[in-house]
Amino acid sequence: WDSFTTNKEHAVTMPCTWVMACAYAPSGCAIACGGLDNKCSVYPLTFDKNENMAAKKKSVAMHTNYLSACSFTNSDMQILTASGDGTCALWDVESGQLLQSFHGHGADVLCLDLAPSETGNTFVSGGCDKKAMVWDMRSGQCVQAFETHESDINSVRYYPSGDAFASGSDDATCRLYDLRADREVAIYSKESIIFGASSVDFSLSGRLLFAGYNDYTINVWDVLKGSRVSILFGHENRVSTLRVSPDGTAFCSGSWDHTLRVWA
């Protein structure tokens, strides 16, 4: 999609009924997506109308259960995936080989996020076992684990500085965990919010936390004060995903009401 003109640029049909994850390559030349087909496929992007994108598809990852999240690492050559089979895995795009696998979650892994620094080699994953785990990509070991949520963790996102991360969960709260202090440092919740948070993202400076909820709203939280700054209405069904643009001027939310909305 082109977000300024709202024109659909490309549509790629997938062989499975649910596409649950998609990611842009850092160069912008390829996309990876996957879902109930248990695989992650990479499509090189081409703006030539005569080319059939589906023909160039490359199947990269194979899990034994659905693919819930995928993300390119700092290069176009490696992809990190999270799956309903309880594991995360790092794959080489060219050869489709498994480079590293991460075992430790007791249930489906629903989300993952890579640490923001260029030299970073850690990532955080959240799962249905209520745990958020931080992994070292090179050794495959779990470095830290946090288990304070009371239900499935739907979304995790690193704080821009890389020293903390936020998580959104079905227990209707979002929580901020500091990696160096190794504990939860803030909870973002209100008694009036009873629906789970499906997706979270930080603004550029990390002062605002945007969270999309299953009650069709988006709440904006002040990260440092722990209070809600504003609530955004507009979607007609649950908000399933949310991302701030790389330049920080706007964020986009996707919902079960078949629309993507850009908020600026």
| Residues 191, 193: Cα–Cα separation, whole Å | 5
Q: Kindly state whether residue 164 participates in binding another protein, applying the rule CB under 8 A.
A: yes
- Per CB under 8 A, the list member of 8, 49, 180, 258 interacting with another protein is 180
Q: Kindly state whether residue 163 participates in binding another protein, applying the rule CB under 8 A.
A: yes
Least gap, CB of 250 to another protein (angstroms): 6
- Pick 6 or 17: Cβ nearer another protein: 6
Q: Kindly state whether residue 174 participates in binding another protein, applying the rule CB under 8 A.
A: no
Beta bridge partners of 113: 124
Give me the amino acid identity at 93: V
Stretch binding another protein (CB under 8 A), from 16-24, 58-66, 84-92, 245-253: 245-253
Q: Kindly state whether residue 207 participates in binding another protein, applying the rule CB under 8 A.
A: yes
Site size toward another protein, by CB under 8 A:
34
- Per CB under 8 A, the list member of 143, 187, 194, 260 interacting with another protein is 143
Both tokens of residue 86? 């309880």
Q: Is 49 exposed, middle or buried (0-12, 13-18, 19+ CB in 10 A)?
A: exposed
Q: Kindly state whether residue 58 participates in binding another protein, applying the rule CB under 8 A.
A: no
Kindly give the pairing relationship between strand 260-263 and strand 153-158. Answer: unpaired
Answer for the pair 132, 145: CB distance below 8 angstroms, yes or no.
yes
Sites for another protein among residues 122-141 (CB under 8 A): 141
- Per CB under 8 A, the list member of 29, 181, 187, 231 interacting with another protein is 181
Answer for the pair 32, 59: CB distance below 8 angstroms, yes or no.
no
Site track for another protein across 85-124, x = CB under 8 A: -------------------x--------------------
- Pick 195 or 263: Cβ nearer another protein: 263
Answer for the pair 197, 221: CB distance below 8 angstroms, yes or no.
no
Phi-psi region of 22 (alpha: psi -120 to 50; beta: other; left: phi over 0): beta
Q: Residue 52: which of 10, 96, 1 has the closest Cα? A: 10
